[in-house]
Amino acid sequence: MPYRFHLGPAALTALPSGALHWPDQNLLVVSDLHFGKSERLARRGGALLPPYETRATLTRLDADLEATRPAHVICLGDSFDDLTAAGEMEETDRLWLIRLQAGREWTWIEGNHDAGPVSLGGTHRAELRLNGLTFRHIATSEPHEISGHYHPKARLPGRTAPCFLIDESRAILPAYGAYTGGLFCDHPDLQVLLGPRALAVLTGRTCLPRPMR
C-alpha cells in the first residue's frame, strides 16, 4: 500500500520501496542510491561488505520503473558513493543502469558524495525546479521542496525502518540504496527542519504513516 499526499500543487505517492511517484508528471524520484559503497569502503581500508548492494538497488529500481513506467526519473544526489565508484561500476551493472535509462529523461542531482557529473547518460543539475516543486539533495527553508541526504529512519517495536518525512512544506526521502544506514527521525537536525504536524511514513511491505514526533 502506498501513501498519497499533497505538497503544494502536486499530488504525490510515497511507495513502500522508498521511491516517490508524481503521476501527473509521469515522474519517479529516488534518493541516495549510493552505488558502489562496498567498493569504496574496501578501497579506503574500511569494513569489507559483500559487494551486492548495487545489484540489490538496481533490482528494486527496475521493479519500480516497471510498475510506474515514468517518462522522467530524478535521482536526488549521492547516487554514487563517490565519483571513483561511478567510474568503476561493474560492466554488467553499468549496462543494466543504461538499459533502465533508455527512452527516459534522467536527471542526476548533485550530492555531497558525488558533487559532479558522471560519464553515464542523463543531465546533471545542482537542483531542479519543476511545476511548483524544487528538487535538491539537502533540504533548505524553501517551501515545496523534495530532498534526501539524511537517510531518515524510524523505530518500531523490534525493528527500525527507513521513512519519508513529510510536512506542509517539504518531503525528505529515505535512502533508496542498500548499506546506507540512517538518521532517526527524532534527531535534532531533522526536528528543526519539519513542522510540528510532520509525518514519518515508514517503508517496507506497506507504507505506514505515524507522527514524526
The domain ranges of the chain are 3-211
**Cβ proximity of 149 and 31 under 8 Å:** yes
Per-residue pLDDT tens digits for 103-150: 999 999 998 867 666 778 899 999 999 999 999 999 998 999 999 999
Question: Which of 185, 139, 191 has the alpha carbon at shortest distance from 161?
Answer: 185
Q: Tell me phi and psi for residue 194, to 5 degrees.
A: -120, 155
Q: Please identify every stretch of the chain with a pLDDT value under 70, giving residue numbers as ranges.
A: 36-52, 81-87, 113, 115-117, 179
Q: Cell 542510491 appears where?
A: 33
What pLDDT does 53 receive? 78
| The predicted structure's pLDDT at residue 156 | 87
Beta strand 3-7 with 170-172 is unpaired
* Strand pairing report for 20-22 and 10-14: antiparallel
pLDDT value at residue 54: 85
Q: Which fold has domain 3-211?
A: Purple Acid Phosphatase; chain A, domain 2 (3.60.21)
Integer Cα distance of 166 and 163 in angstroms:
10
Question: In the prediction, which pLDDT does 130 show?
Answer: 97
- CA distances to 48, 87, 96, 170 from 91, rounded to whole Å, are 21, 10, 8, 37
pLDDT at 41: 46
pLDDT of residue 11: 98
